């Protein structure tokens, strides 16, 4: 417990507090009057309203589209399932600067909708909502599907046997077991869409503004730190409120679940209805998720003899001091370090949160851990600059800041993925093991670990992939001699000329492939291991 | 809590301390080391490897470069950290943000060697020498040559042309509150039509179908039909607010190289941008910083800049590459504005522009 608390205090709470204090303190006196001043502006109130309703709408839409997907991935066996599950996660981990523009190929000028029906959604709120589904589909599929696949279908079958209708059986047996995972997924989607930045800027255009966009603008363009500080506090309160509510509902629904190996529960679809469901989900995945990704690949190949890819290996382009291709190695190293940090910190936190004697304070920490997801990268980045600037923690130009910042975003994923499963482990199993003389370490290794291994791998996979695509924090500290992939892409996109654009597309494609490969490896790792028990 | 668990916690704690320790030793090495000079810049910074190596060899300093986000972020972060700066020299504050840097006391005085050979029109702060002009460039409307020859239409040449019906729905520009070319274009119109005339101009521009997107990347790569990205995305706007150096870039970064640039510049729509560098207040290695500033004004660096950062030198006598003179000549009579005047009006103008154009 002490380690995660210290980690968050030093690398999150302190930097954010420092930058907020810089904005709200004048000559050492707090200026709380600023809060009401800012809230009185009609622009700001408009931003608040838009931020909230678009997040609610996006969450609802994402659940609507992705829950059938979660069911299909959990319960059906079909060829190419692993590849597809890895592929749907790719948009989530890629930076918006890369995929946002590709998404325009679906909803914008000359896109699929334009070709078929002459409908153009770019610079409308629909583009924002659909893009949020595109980016967050995987959150629902992985979070809900992960648990759904491990629910023992025999329980539902038993209920049917005892005379319950199909709906009643689902409602009374499966739904209550699934609810915490659905709540967790919905909460994550809400968080991501509430704090949406790139999607709103790129697809919505400058007429739409969320709280996050406004904080970025006030901090980094207008340099109005007081206003930015007030907006940060507002976002903090809003996000904190949602998180507290969530923690409360999850605790109320905690029950020990009977978990089984996922490979036992999935089977080939039977009957027209199930085939239609599978078909529908596959079509929606192809159109909504894979098509925009395919556009990236196609644009990267749109030159003779892989010219864009060959150009990546030359180091005299002037844009970087090294060949852009080396960004791949940099990204992998950073992401690996970030994953290790996130899994250690997140794992310790999740274990501490599961303990039965965990007090009120500890359980409140559950919600606190999620806060970094709801705080603007620009706030944290600027905060780092003014708080981590004295020895022994002068990390401002150190490479470690990159994985640390990435881990900050990764830890909540680890905790959120592990916690529902860890909590579902029947405490009596641990007690029985302890009574029989097992040390706590052995209890963890032989009781908890086998049951949560899958969740642990999913968590690590997420943390790794999120770190790979992380852009906000990386951009603050990267140096020209070791840019990460997203930073290199952004830099190339910022320059005129065919070869620059083409290289950006080629690097994006590589980033996409690396992410997909990493996710696929985890998928395979999982099925190999589960054969053991 | 068992011994093993405690051991884990302790081990992880050690791990973290070790991690942060190697991080801090890394940076304190370079800070305390007078043989390293640190340049803080924005993400458009670029230099040829060989040119930088020449400086390191001649001066004996090792150069560390920190790129701190886009131009606006880099300046803001430098101001935020001015009591304990991340480096010794800052490069990349332009005339639109210069007053913010100077008013916040970002720089200390140093007159770089070669300052007397800087073109007179670029010089500022002559009594204190807190900043040194390094490069210049023009923000101008670019046009897609293919579109205009296909439609047998003359491309626009001036601000006045852009509000003519012939050019309806053709121009895409950037958000003036988030994008530096977007702000430059707004300042260009303010310089041309004055504090009380630009709003009227923009009302007409809006009526003539100007499209505003958030950043240069979207405008140039997605909406402008003359760019590589725009062609792939079937873009339909043949006019875009970009730089005078974009046409040469379209030639240089093409394979095979075309004989003429696919895009041109509307020379009567330009706003001049000048970028400055300065020695940071509280710099740890002032001696190295001064040497680095001198280097930025050498002919070698000045002539290396155009093909790396797509800007023009400010040093008199520095040669501009042939591609620049051929495909993207500097505007003869660009709009200019005194940094002090920009400082006085910038925020107010951007605010009125936002409610006029975006709402």
**Average pLDDT of A438-444?**
86
pLDDT at res. A250? 65
CA distance B226 to chain A (A): 10
Confidence of residue A198 (pLDDT cuts 50, 70, 90): confident
Could you say which of B24, B80, B255 has the minimum Cβ distance to residue A386?
Answer: B80
* Segment A262-286, tens digit of pLDDT: 667 777 888 888 889 899 999 988 8
- Please tell me whether the peptide bond between A392 and the residue prior to it is cis, using omega within 30 degrees of 0: yes
**Cβ–Cβ of A7/B215 closer than 8 Å?**
no
Name the more confident of A370 and B122. B122
Chain A residues with CB under 8 Å of B253 CB are 495-500
**Cβ–Cβ of B2/A480 closer than 8 Å?**
no
- In whole angstroms, what is the distance from residue B101 CA to residue B340 CA? 12
Query: Hey, is the C-beta of B64 within 8 angstroms of any chain A C-beta?
Result: yes
Query: Hey, is the C-beta of B104 within 8 angstroms of any chain A C-beta?
Result: no
Q: Of chain A residues 217-246, which have a CB less than 8 A from chain B?
A: 217, 219-223
pLDDT score of A243 more than 60: yes
Q: What is the DSSP secondary-structure string of A229-251?
A: HHHHHHHHHHHHHHHHHHHHHHH
Q: At what angle do helices A401-424 and A175-194 cross, to 10 degrees?
A: 160
The CATH architecture that domain B9-135+275-313 belongs to is 3-Layer(aba) Sandwich (3.40)
- In whole angstroms, what is the distance from residue B214 CA to residue A101 CA? 12
Name the more confident of B288 and A468. B288
Could you say which of B22, B77, B308 has the minimum Cβ distance to residue A318?
Answer: B308
**Average pLDDT of A106-126?**
76
Say which residue the tokens 């996130």 belong to: A342
Number of structural domains, chain A?
1
* Segment A24-68, tens digit of pLDDT: 887 777 878 888 888 888 888 999 999 999 999 999 999 999 999
Which tokens go with B309?
């950062």
- In whole angstroms, what is the distance from residue B171 CA to residue B159 CA? 12
Q: What is the DSSP secondary-structure string of A104-124?
A: HHHHSTTSHHHHHH----TTS
Bridge-based pairing of strands A25-26 and A29-30 is antiparallel
Question: What are the angstrom distances between the C-alpha of B115 and each of B53, B129, B258, B312?
Answer: 23, 9, 38, 16
Nearest CA in chain B to A202: B214
Query: Hey, is the C-beta of B310 within 8 angstroms of any chain A C-beta?
Result: yes
Question: What are the angstrom distances between the C-alpha of A353 and each of A265, A363, A365, A368, A419?
Answer: 29, 6, 8, 12, 8
State how far Cα B221 lies from the chain centre.
18
**Residue B225, C-beta contacts closer than 8 angstroms, at least 6 positions apart:** B144, B146, B147, B231, B235, B236, B237, B238
**Region(s) of chain B under CATH 3.40.190.10:** 9-135+275-313, 138-273+333-358
pLDDT at res. B36? 92
Could you say which of A476, A478, A497 has the minimum Cβ distance to residue B254?
Answer: A497
Q: Which residues of A294-331 are buried (b: 16+ CB within 10 A; e: fewer)?
A: ebbbebbbbbeeebbbebbeeeebbbbbbebbbbbebb
Chain A residues with CB under 8 Å of B20 CB are 392-393, 395, 400
Confidence of residue A252 (pLDDT cuts 50, 70, 90): low
Q: Of chain A residues 4-43, which have a CB less than 8 A from chain B?
A: 6-7, 22
Q: ipTM of the assembly?
A: 0.80
Range of the domain at A249: 2-530
Confidence of residue A224 (pLDDT cuts 50, 70, 90): confident
At residue A207's C-alpha, the angle toward residues A475 and A239, to 5°, is 60
Say which residue the tokens 């803001």 belong to: B76
Could you say which of B27, B69, B221 has the minimum Cβ distance to residue A394?
Answer: B27
Could you say which of A3, A302, A393 has the minimum Cβ distance to residue B13?
Answer: A3
- In whole angstroms, what is the distance from residue A36 CA to residue A79 CA? 58
CA distance A209 to chain B (A): 11
> Which backbone phi and psi does A376 adopt, to 5 degrees?
-55, 135
Chain A residues with CB under 8 Å of B310 CB are 495-496
**Cβ–Cβ of B177/A394 closer than 8 Å?**
no
pLDDT at res. A501? 87
Nearest CA in chain B to A389: B84
* Segment A336-361, tens digit of pLDDT: 999 999 999 998 888 888 776 666 66
- In whole angstroms, what is the distance from residue A301 CA to residue A319 CA? 21
Query: Hey, is the C-beta of A120 within 8 angstroms of any chain B C-beta?
Result: no
Name the more confident of A409 and A254. A409
Q: What is the largest CA-CA distance in chain B?
A: 84
In 3D space, the residue among B282, B327, B227 whose CA is nearest the CA of residue B38 turns out to be: B282
Question: What are the angstrom distances between the C-alpha of B329 and each of B194, B258, B333?
Answer: 27, 17, 12
N residues, chain A = 533
Cβ neighbourhood burial of B13 (10 Å; 0-12, 13-18, 19+)? middle
Cβ neighbourhood burial of A186 (10 Å; 0-12, 13-18, 19+)? buried
Could you say which of B27, B177, B234 has the minimum Cβ distance to residue A109?
Answer: B234
Query: Hey, is the C-beta of B68 within 8 angstroms of any chain A C-beta?
Result: yes
Strand (E) or helix (H) holding B271:
strand B263-280
> Within 13 Å, how many C-alpha atoms sit on residue B59's CB side?
23
Q: Of chain A residues 67-106, which have a CB less than 8 A from chain B?
A: 97, 101, 104-105
pLDDT at res. B10? 44
CA distance A200 to chain B (A): 10
Nearest CA in chain A to B73: A220
- The ranges of chain B with pLDDT < 70 are 1-33
CA distance A219 to chain B (A): 8
Alpha helices of A162-315 — where are they, by DSSP H? 166-169, 175-194, 198-199, 211-216, 225-252, 262-265, 271-285, 291-300, 307-311
pLDDT at res. A315? 66
- In whole angstroms, what is the distance from residue A203 CA to residue A125 CA? 9
Q: Report how many Cβ contacts below 8 Å link chain A to chain B.
A: 202
Chain A residues with CB under 8 Å of B68 CB are 476
- In whole angstroms, what is the distance from residue A463 CA to residue A345 CA? 12
Chain B residues with CB under 8 Å of A109 CB are 233-236
CATH number, domain of A391, equals: 1.10.3720.10
Q: Of chain B residues 133-172, which have a CB less than 8 A from chain A?
A: none
Q: Are B242 and B220 in contact (CB under 8 A)?
A: yes
> Which backbone phi and psi does A105 adopt, to 5 degrees?
-65, -20
Nearest CA in chain B to A315: B49
> Which backbone phi and psi does B92 adopt, to 5 degrees?
120, 15
Chain A residues with CB under 8 Å of B250 CB are 496-498
**Cβ–Cβ of A303/B255 closer than 8 Å?**
yes
pTM value is: 0.83
SS3 A487: helix
Question: What are the angstrom distances between the C-alpha of A359 and each of A205, A362, A363, B255?
Answer: 46, 5, 6, 65
> Within 13 Å, how many C-alpha atoms sit on residue A5's CB side?
10
- In whole angstroms, what is the distance from residue A520 CA to residue A526 CA? 10
The CATH architecture that domain B138-273+333-358 belongs to is 3-Layer(aba) Sandwich (3.40)
pLDDT at res. A90? 85
- In whole angstroms, what is the distance from residue B257 CA to residue B119 CA? 32
Query: Hey, is the C-beta of A441 within 8 angstroms of any chain B C-beta?
Result: yes
């Amino acid at each position: 417990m002490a380690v995660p608390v210290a980690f968050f205090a030093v690398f999150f709470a302190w930097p954010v507090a420092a930058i907020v204090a810089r904005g709200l303190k004048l000559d050492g006196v707090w200026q709380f009057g600023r809060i009401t001043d800012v809230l009185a502006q009609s622009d700001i109130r408009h931003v608040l309203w838009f931020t909230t309703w678009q997040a609610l709408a996006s969450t609802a839409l994402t659940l609507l589209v992705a829950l059938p997907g979660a069911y299909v991935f959990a319960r059906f066996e079909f060829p190419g399932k692993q590849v597809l599950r890895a592929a749907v996660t790719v948009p989530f981990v890629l930076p918006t600067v890369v995929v946002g523009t590709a998404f325009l190929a679906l909803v914008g000028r000359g896109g699929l909708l334009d070709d078929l029906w002459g409908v153009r959604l770019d610079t409308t709120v629909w583009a924002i909502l659909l893009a949020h589904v595109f980016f967050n589909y995987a959150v629902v599929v992985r979070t809900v599907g992960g648990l759904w696949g491990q629910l023992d279908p025999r329980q539902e079958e038993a209920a049917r046997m005892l005379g319950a209708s199909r709906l009643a059986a689902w409602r009374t047996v499966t739904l209550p077991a699934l609810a915490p995972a659905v709540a967790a997924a919905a909460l994550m989607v809400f968080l991501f869409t509430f704090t949406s930045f790139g999607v709103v800027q790129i697809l919505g255009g400058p007429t739409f503004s969320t709280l996050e966009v406004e904080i970025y603008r006030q901090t980094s363009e207008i340099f109005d730190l007081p206003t930015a500080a007030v907006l940060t506090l507002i976002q903090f309160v809003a996000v904190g409120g949602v998180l507290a509510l969530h923690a409360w509902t999850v605790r109320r629904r905690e029950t020990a679940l009977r978990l089984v190996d996922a490979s036992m529960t999935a089977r080939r679809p039977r009957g027209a209805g199930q085939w239609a469901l599978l078909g529908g989900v596959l079509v929606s995945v192809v159109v909504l998720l894979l098509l925009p990704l395919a556009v990236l690949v196609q644009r990267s190949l749109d030159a003779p003899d892989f010219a864009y890819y060959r150009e990546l290996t030359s180091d005299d382009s002037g844009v970087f001091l090294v060949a852009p291709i080396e960004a791949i190695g940099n990204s992998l190293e950073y992401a690996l370090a970030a994953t290790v940090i996130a899994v250690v910190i997140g794992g310790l936190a999740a274990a501490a949160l599961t303990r039965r004697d965990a007090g009120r304070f500890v359980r409140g920490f559950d919600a606190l851990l999620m806060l970094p997801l709801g705080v603007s990268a620009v706030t944290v980045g600027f905060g780092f600059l003014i708080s981590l600037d004295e020895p022994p923690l002068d990390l401002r130009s150190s490479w470690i800041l990159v994985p640390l910042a990435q881990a900050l975003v990764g830890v909540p994923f680890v905790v959120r993925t592990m916690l529902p499963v860890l909590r579902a482990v029947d405490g009596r199993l641990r007690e029985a093991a302890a009574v029989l003389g097992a040390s706590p370490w052995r209890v963890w290794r032989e009781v908890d670990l086998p049951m949560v291994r899958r969740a642990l791998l999913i968590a690590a996979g997420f943390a790794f992939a999120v770190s790979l695509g992380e852009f906000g924090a990386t951009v603050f500290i990267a140096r020209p001699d070791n840019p990460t992939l997203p930073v290199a892409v952004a830099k190339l996109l910022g320059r005129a000329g065919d070869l620059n654009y083409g290289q950006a597309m080629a690097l994006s494609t590589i980033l996409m492939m690396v992410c997909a490969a990493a996710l696929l490896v985890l998928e395979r790792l999982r099925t190999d291991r589960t054969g053991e028990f | 809590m068992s011994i093993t668990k405690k051991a884990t916690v302790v081990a992880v704690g050690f791990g973290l301390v070790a991690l942060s320790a190697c991080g801090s030793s890394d940076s304190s090495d370079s800070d305390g080391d007078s043989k390293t000079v640190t340049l803080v810049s924005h993400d458009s910074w670029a230099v040829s490897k060989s040119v930088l190596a020449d400086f390191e060899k001649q001066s004996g300093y090792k150069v560390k470069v920190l790129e701190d986000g886009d131009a606006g972020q880099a300046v803001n972060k430098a101001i935020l950290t001015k009591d304990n700066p991340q480096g010794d020299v800052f490069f990349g504050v332009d005339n639109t943000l210069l007053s913010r840097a100077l008013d916040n006391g970002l720089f200390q005085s140093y007159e770089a060697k070669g300052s007397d050979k800087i073109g007179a029109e670029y010089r500022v702060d002559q009594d204190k020498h807190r900043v040194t002009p390094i490069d210049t460039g023009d923000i101008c409307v670019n046009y897609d040559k293919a579109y205009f020859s296909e439609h047998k239409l003359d491309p626009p040449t001036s601000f006045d042309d852009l509000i003519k019906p012939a050019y309806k729905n053709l121009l895409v520009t950037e958000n003036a509150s988030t994008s530096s070319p977007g702000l430059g274009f707004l300042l260009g119109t303010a310089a041309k039509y004055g504090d009380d005339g630009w709003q009227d101009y923009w009302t007409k521009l809006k009526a003539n179908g100007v499209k505003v997107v958030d950043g240069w990347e979207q405008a140039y790569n997605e909406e402008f039909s003359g760019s590589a990205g725009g062609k792939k995305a079937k873009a339909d706007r043949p006019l875009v607010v970009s730089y005078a150096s974009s046409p040469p870039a379209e030639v240089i970064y093409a394979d095979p190289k075309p004989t003429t640039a696919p895009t041109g510049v509307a020379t009567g729509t330009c706003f001049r941008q000048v970028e400055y560098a300065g020695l940071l207040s509280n710099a740890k290695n002032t001696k190295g910083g001064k040497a680095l500033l001198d280097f930025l004004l050498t002919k070698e660096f000045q002539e290396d800049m155009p093909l790396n950062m797509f800007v023009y030198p400010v040093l008199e006598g520095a040669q501009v590459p042939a591609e620049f003179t051929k495909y993207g000549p500097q505007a003869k009579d660009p709009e200019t504005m005194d940094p002090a005047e920009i400082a006085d009006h910038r925020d107010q103008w951007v605010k009125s522009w936002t409610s006029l154009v975006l709402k």
